[in-house]
Amino acid sequence: MLELNNVEVIYSEVILAVKGVSMRISEGQCVALLGGNGAGKSTTLKAISNVIKTEDGRVTSGNIQFNGKRIDNQDAVDIVDTGIIHVMEGRRVLRHLTVEQNLIIGGHKETSLRAVRQRLDEVYSRIGRLAALKDRTSGYLSGGEQQMLVIGRAMMARPKLMLIDEPSLGLAPLMVDEVFAVLKSLKDAGVTLLVV
């Protein structure tokens, strides 16, 4: 499903962040990407979703393919349309909006309110905690709840492949279990996962 061949990423034309990364992920797999601080894990995810472009980064050699088609340096919006959704590091909720408003934004591709409602129902059935919190201001949620929210928001966009950067960072062990249970449920639903 996803293939990286000898990918090199350079920021600002001079900073070499990733060199010679190759990997292959089949549909339905859950793959962990491990490495020390500064090894280039986040950059690798950002190269796949092409968020590196916003940081003046670029894939300068090698290639990235999704279902057989080259996606390196494609527009990030088009990459989202192909079904790759990136949950970035740091639990970036829209702090002043409620949980449900955050989720609705994740469903921006849908063309009818009814379809958005269906997506919401599916997210709430997979992440029961979000249903209970739906009217709460997201900025006041706990770290684990915010992590579940950003994963839920990504689910709203009907991902085929979800890229998730450090979902357990700084969470209490019980919360880590709960977040990983959500990932398991996503995998059971057929979503392919690449987890840093």
Ligand X SMILES: Nc1ncnc2c1ncn2[C@@H]1O[C@H](COP(=O)(O)OP(=O)(O)OP(=O)(O)O)[C@@H](O)[C@H]1O
Contacts with Mg ion by CB under 5 A lie at: 42
Nearer to Mg ion, 42 or 192 (CB): 42
Nearer to Mg ion, 44 or 146 (CB): 44
The site partner of 121 among ligand X, Mg ion, none (C-beta below 5 to 8 Å per kind) is none
Q: In which residue are the tokens 């990030």 written?
A: 76
The site partner of 163 among Mg ion, ligand X, none (C-beta below 5 to 8 Å per kind) is none
Minimum distance from residue 18 beta carbon to ligand X (Å): 7
Half-sphere exposure at residue 51, Cβ-oriented, CA atoms within 13 angstroms: 15
Residues that bind ligand X (CB under 6 A): 11, 15, 17, 35, 37-43, 55
Minimum distance from residue 186 beta carbon to ligand X (Å): 22
Minimum distance from residue 68 beta carbon to ligand X (Å): 26
Nearer to ligand X, 41 or 153 (CB): 41
Minimum distance from residue 10 beta carbon to ligand X (Å): 9
The site partner of 170 among ligand X, Mg ion, none (C-beta below 5 to 8 Å per kind) is none
CB 144 within 8 A of CB 88: no
Minimum distance from residue 11 beta carbon to ligand X (Å): 4
What gap in Å lies between CA 115 and CA 106, rounded to an integer?
Answer: 12
The site partner of 68 among ligand X, Mg ion, none (C-beta below 5 to 8 Å per kind) is none
CB 161 within 8 A of CB 85: yes
DSSP string, 83-114: TEEEE-TT----TTSBHHHHHHHHTTT-SSHH
Q: Do strands 161-164 and 15-25 pair parallel, antiparallel, or not at all (unpaired)?
A: unpaired
What gap in Å lies between CA 47 and CA 44, rounded to an integer?
Answer: 5
CB 34 within 8 A of CB 166: no
The site partner of 38 among ligand X, Mg ion, none (C-beta below 5 to 8 Å per kind) is ligand X
